[in-house]
């Protein structure tokens, strides 16, 4: 099977400092891929190369290539706005727009021209909120502000917002670290349901979470990809000493 995303020989520099050191990895369509590693290991930086989020950092420079369905996303003709619709992102801190729940979800499809008629937009908002597991909780108050929701609901609203533009890949950067265990469980259940429909890459500090939600795990350390393999192998029988020391709590 051809990978959804194929990253080849990626290095990232912030000014003179090298944050990612020649990393190559494939993202499958049907799997959830987890990035783990200690703070500063480069996992978030690498995640952000996958939809060119690092473009927003002036000093950042990326070398190597990232192919989305075989197409280099760093090629000069690439429409970055379009790219970020295809490769959506959910951040650590829920960041809904200071607008209504409805508008949070409808905004993306509207600017991308995915739905213009009010009825189509309504249907798309409902479908997205349903897929994000939030519809039943908010269907009677769609005009309330998105920022009035609980943290866990806000995060699911952000996922609904990402889903609404019909992405192919969803990148999640520590999506549960600001949430309580119940809200976390809901997000994890959601990730499980979204698997297969979207390729999902998640960065997490919580190794139990990586073990629970992903089928593949990549361990980063000091900007290098140390080990990449089936999650069940990484957590029961890692090949590399550095991986073992990290996941068993012997790091540092």
Query: CA–CA separation, 212 vs 20, rounded Å?
Result: 26
Q: Rounded to the nearest whole angstrom, what is the least distance from the CB of residue 36 to other proteins in the complex?
A: 11
DSSP secondary structure letter of residue 215: S
Q: Which is nearer to other proteins, 56 or 208 (CB)?
A: 208
Q: What's the gap between Cα 88 and its chain centre? A: 7
User: How far apart are CB 191 and other proteins at their closest, in Å?
Assistant: 20
Q: For tokens 């729940």, name the residue.
A: 101
Instruction: State which residue, 52 or 212, has the beta carbon closest to other proteins.
Output: 212
In the complex with other proteins, which residue's Cβ is closer, 132 or 207? 207
Write down the residue that tokens 């609904």 correspond to.
160
- Nearest-angstrom CA–CA distance, 176 and 155: 8
Output 141 or 239, the one with its CB closest to other proteins: 239
Residue (of 65, 4, 33, 40) closest to 218 by Cα position: 33
3 state DSSP class of 146? helix
Q: C-beta of 97: minimal distance to other proteins in Å? A: 37
Shortest distance in whole angstroms from residue 208 CB to other proteins: 6
Residues that bind other proteins (CB under 8 A): 207-208, 211, 235-238, 241, 243-245, 247-252
Beta strand 169-173 pairing with 199-203: parallel
For residues 194 and 59, what is the distance between their CA atoms, to the nearest angstrom?
35
For the CB of residue 210, give the shortest distance to other proteins in the complex, in Å.
11
Give every CB contact of residue 210 below 8 A, 6+ residues apart in sequence. Answer: 34, 36, 202, 204, 217, 231
Query: Least distance in Å: CB of 176 to other proteins?
Result: 16
Give the residue with the Cβ less far from other proteins, 111 or 230: 230
User: Which residue, 112 or 244, is less far from other proteins as judged by CB?
Assistant: 244
Nearest residue to 54 via CA among 39, 69, 44: 44
Task: State how far Cα 75 lies from the chain centre.
Answer: 22
CA atoms within 13 A on the CB side of 138: 31
Q: Whose Cβ is closer to other proteins: residue 128's or residue 184's?
A: 184
Query: Order of strands, edge to edge, in the sheet holding 224-230?
Result: 87-90, 169-173, 199-203, 32-36, 216-221, 224-230
> How near is the Cβ of 45 to other proteins at its closest, in Å?
24
């Amino acid at each position: 099977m051809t990978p959804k995303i194929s990253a080849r020989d990626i290095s990232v520099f912030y000014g003179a400092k090298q944050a990612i050191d020649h990393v190559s990895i494939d993202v499958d369509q049907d799997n959830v891929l987890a990035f783990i590693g200690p703070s500063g290991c480069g996992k978030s930086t690498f995640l952000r190369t996958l939809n060119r989020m690092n473009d927003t950092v002036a000093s950042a420079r990326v070398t190597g290539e990232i192919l989305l369905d075989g197409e280099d996303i760093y090629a000069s003709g690439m429409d970055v706005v379009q790219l970020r619709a295809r490769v959506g992102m959910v951040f650590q801190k829920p960041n809904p727009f200071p607008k209504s729940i409805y508008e949070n979800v409808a905004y993306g499809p509207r600017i991308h021209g995915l739905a213009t008629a009010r009825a189509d937009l309504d249907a798309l908002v409902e479908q997205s909120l349903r897929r994000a597991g939030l519809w039943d909780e908010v269907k009677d108050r769609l005009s309330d502000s998105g920022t009035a929701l609980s943290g866990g609901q806000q995060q699911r609203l952000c996922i609904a917002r990402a889903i609404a533009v019909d992405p192919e890949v969803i990148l999640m950067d520590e999506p549960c670290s600001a949430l309580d265990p119940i809200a976390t469980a809901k997000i994890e259940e959601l990730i499980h349901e979204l698997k297969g429909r979207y390729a999902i890459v998640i960065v997490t500090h919580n190794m139990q979470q990586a073990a629970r939600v992903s089928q593949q795990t990549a361990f980063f350390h000091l900007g290098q990809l140390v080990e990449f393999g089936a999650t069940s192998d990484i957590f029961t029988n890692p090949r590399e000493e550095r991986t073992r020391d990290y996941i068993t709590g012997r790091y540092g």
